Amino acid sequence: MDLAQRHPAPGPDHTPARPVADPGRSATTGRGRAEAASGPVATAASPAGTDQHARHRDAARAGWKGILREPFTAATWLRLAYLLLALPVGILCVPIALVGGPAGRIQRGLARRLLGVEVAEPRRTGPLALAHAVISLPLNLVALTVSAYFWTVVVINLAYPLRPDSDPTQAWGGPTMAGAWAVHGIGGGLSFLFITPWVMKGFTLLQARLVEGFLGADRAGLLKATGIALAVTALCALLSIPVIHQL
């Protein structure tokens, strides 16, 4: 056999050539990989913090808007209507409940129409309708009295120049009418204008809870709500003593 056939000459090498490492390119690629790895994290972290601050800012802005809007919402005036009607309707429901009349249905209807409280009618209320009519009477009286007093403070201070006893020379902010009106209008009028709706909301929430507990099917927390109602009534009665002496 020919020697050339037994040992053929080496041909072109088909083994893939290994790329020669480029130090500059490797450094650039490594830096690019590092930037690619850290870039999205940093980019994602920054908007997350920004979004969190924006949410807090929006929540605070919405809270202030709610406070400023509350005196002019329909819900506030519906609560005022409920406070005006709860006392006479409650007094009327005492004899109705004594004779077995629909006292519970009347009270549930009033809370549903003016407060939006949906109370499922139980199979029978029995003496609970009478208990609600009696226990809610002092709370209804206090709620109406406090709310009426607060709204009176709003009106007489905002309309200070129209009062017959408005003498700016002897009043806070005097001796000019503009100064006295500014002090009374801002200090007594506007402050009570934005406080009173929240006081009314607290009273109506408690009144609605008594309706749900006594006249509905849910008795959970009824004893606690009754205790809070009686405590609020007693506290308001004590605080009214110095106010009455000043009148």
The answer on pLDDT for 190 being more than 60 is yes
- Tokens of residue 1, six digits: 């056999």
pLDDT at residue 216, as a whole number: 86
Q: At CA 28, angle to CA 23 and CA 29, rounded to 5?
A: 95
pLDDT at residue 135, as a whole number: 92
The answer on pLDDT for 130 being more than 80 is yes
* Three-state SS at 17: coil
DSSP per position, 195-207: HHHHHHHHHHHHH
Task: Determine the average pLDDT of the residues in 133-158.
Answer: 93
What confidence tens digit (pLDDT) does each residue in 15-56 have? 444 544 444 444 444 444 444 444 544 444 445 556 766 666
pLDDT at residue 132, as a whole number: 92
pLDDT at residue 140, as a whole number: 96
- The backbone region for 122, taken as left when phi is positive above 0, alpha when psi lies in -120 to 50, beta otherwise, is beta
* Helix spans in the chain (H): 3-6, 23-69, 74-98, 103-115, 127-158, 177-183, 191-215, 222-246
Residue 215: exposed, middle, or buried by beta-carbon count in 10 A (0-12, 13-18, 19+)? buried
Average pLDDT, rounded, for the chain: 79
What confidence tens digit (pLDDT) does each residue in 45-81 have? 445 556 766 666 766 666 777 778 888 999 999 999 9
Smallest CA-to-CA distance from 114 within 18, 200, 6, 23 is with 200
